[in-house]
């Protein structure tokens, strides 16, 4: 097969490209230029798309002896990921930009361009597995399923839960059967200079990690009240968009609780610019609805038992899920804390990813 290997300049994508070449594919390395003002050097482990990263990816491609190109997708990334991120926070939601990047950039814009140029598939350094199972209704009698990686500490199937069956047909994740320590050892054995390069961290386009400050620069300061569940004003905030459900620090409350216990953000309302806080026990929810539903294979029929995960490296919770007119309802067996609108809920059956949805609301059953 003719395969585009997405090469970020890190150790994972380097080994992924090498493995695709070892498997006998015709491989071309592609580095995605996602920043419109790429820095020369990486400032921290959170940054991405620097000229240093592009250079690291090129050196790996040269060592492998494969063609290498830089594809400029900065405008598409800005529109589909960065602007979406800002708009979601402005609407009082807490998005995960990695899911949006995988959906809109790596397995839409990148894959579409690769197919248009005559390639067959895209390979990335994500920690996840593709498992092929017999299915007489699928193309060639085989269905490709998305599963968790062997290395559960590095598993990235959650951020790939937005991929549909057609995208999985043209996706390769060569690292899913290997733990990270062995990947670094393999990179060193292959002579890759990135073998000890630190991992990058979310959010890639906020290099200093100050999400609230980054949002304030773009959305401005909008002072408003911080209130308890009875509506009593306890303090003032600089903008409801800078807070998320479950947050404890940085609330600036002037009125302590009678027993000294901490308060947490229970909800935000950007329409009234209000932040509601309360005790930790009120954070627990056991039912949520989600829109923007995506299935990684055939859609479930009726109510199905699943494992539900609401954070990239969070726990999986037993649940029941059903879809009615495009709205996904997930009922958890136990309450989960800190579920915010805009987060994604990814559903699992064993290690298989069933699908995902963007959380629209959550609540507590009696």
Instruction: Show the domains of the chain with their CATH numbers.
Output: 2-125+174-189 (3.40.50.620), 223-282 (2.30.30.280), 284-363 (2.40.30.10)
Q: Is 204 marked active-site?
A: yes
Residue 24 backbone zone (phi > 0: left; psi -120 to 50: alpha; other: beta): left
Pairing of strands 121-123, 68-72: unpaired
- How high is the pLDDT of residue 287? 97
**Ordered mean pLDDT values, 10 residues apiece, the chain (366 residues):** 96 98 98 74 53 92 97 93 93 91 93 96 97 85 94 96 94 97 98 91 78 87 91 90 88 81 90 91 94 92 95 94 93 93 96 97 88
Q: Which residue among 48, 49, 98, 101 is the active-site one?
A: 101
Pick the closest to residue 274 from 306, 301, 318, 237 (CA basis): 237
Pick the closest to residue 101 from 84, 122, 120, 123 (CA basis): 84
Q: How far apart are CA 147 and CA 184, in angstroms?
A: 22
Whether 194 contacts 60, CB under 8 Å? yes
Q: In what order do the strands lie in the sheet with 233-237?
A: 233-237, 224-227, 274-278, 264-269
Burial code (b: 16+ CB inside 10 Å, e: under 16) for 132-150 equals: eeeeeebeeeebbbbbbbb
Q: How far apart are CA 311 and CA 345, in angstroms?
A: 8
Q: How much helix, strand and coil, in percent to the nearest 5, is found in the chain? A: 25, 30, 40
- How high is the pLDDT of residue 153? 93
How many other β-carbons are positioned within 10 Å of the β-carbon of residue 127?
25
Q: Which residue among 48, 98, 204, 296 is the active-site one?
A: 204
Q: How far apart are CA 48 and CA 207, in angstroms?
A: 8
Whether 316 contacts 348, CB under 8 Å? yes
- How high is the pLDDT of residue 48? 59
- How high is the pLDDT of residue 222? 87
């Amino acid at each position: 097969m003719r395969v585009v290997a997405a090469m970020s300049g890190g150790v994972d994508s380097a080994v992924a490209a090498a493995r695709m070449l070892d498997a006998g594919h015709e491989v071309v390395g592609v580095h995605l230029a996602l920043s419109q003002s790429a820095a020369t050097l990486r400032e921290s482990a959170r940054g991405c798309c620097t000229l240093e990263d592009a250079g690291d990816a090129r050196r790996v491609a040269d060592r492998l002896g494969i063609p290498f190109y830089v594809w400029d997708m900065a405008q598409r990334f800005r529109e589909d990921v960065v602007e979406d991120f800002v708009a979601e926070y402005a609407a009082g939601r807490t998005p995960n930009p990695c899911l949006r990047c995988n959906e809109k950039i790596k397995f839409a814009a990148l894959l579409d361009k690769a197919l248009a140029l005559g390639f067959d598939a895209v390979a990335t350094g994500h920690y996840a597995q593709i498992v092929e199972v017999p299915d007489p209704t699928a193309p060639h009698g085989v269905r490709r399923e998305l599963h968790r990686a062997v290395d559960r500490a590095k598993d990235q199937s959650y951020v790939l839960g937005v991929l549909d069956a057609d995208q999985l047909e043209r996706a390769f994740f060569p690292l899913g059967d290997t733990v990270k320590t062995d990947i670094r050892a393999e990179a060193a054995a292959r002579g890759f200079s990135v073998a000890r390069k630190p991992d990058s961290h979310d959010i890639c386009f906020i290099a200093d990690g100050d999400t609230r400050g980054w949002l304030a620069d773009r959305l401005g300061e909008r002072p408003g009240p911080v209130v308890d569940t009875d509506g009593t004003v306890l303090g003032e905030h600089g903008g409801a968009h800078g807070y998320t459900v479950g947050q404890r620090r940085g609330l600036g409350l002037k009125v302590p609780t009678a027993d000294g216990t901490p308060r947490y953000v229970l909800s935000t309302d950007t329409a009234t610019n209000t932040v509601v806080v309360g005790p930790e026990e009120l954070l627990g929810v056991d039912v949520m609805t989600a829109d923007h539903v995506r299935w990684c294979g055939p859609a479930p029929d009726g109510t199905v038992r699943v494992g539900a995960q609401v954070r990239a490296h969070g726990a999986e919770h037993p649940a029941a899920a059903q879809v009615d007119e495009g709205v996904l309802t997930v009922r958890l067996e136990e309450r989960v804390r800190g579920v915010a609108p805009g987060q994604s809920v990814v559903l699992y059956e064993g290690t298989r990813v069933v699908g995902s949805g963007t959380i629209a609301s959550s609540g507590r059953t009696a």
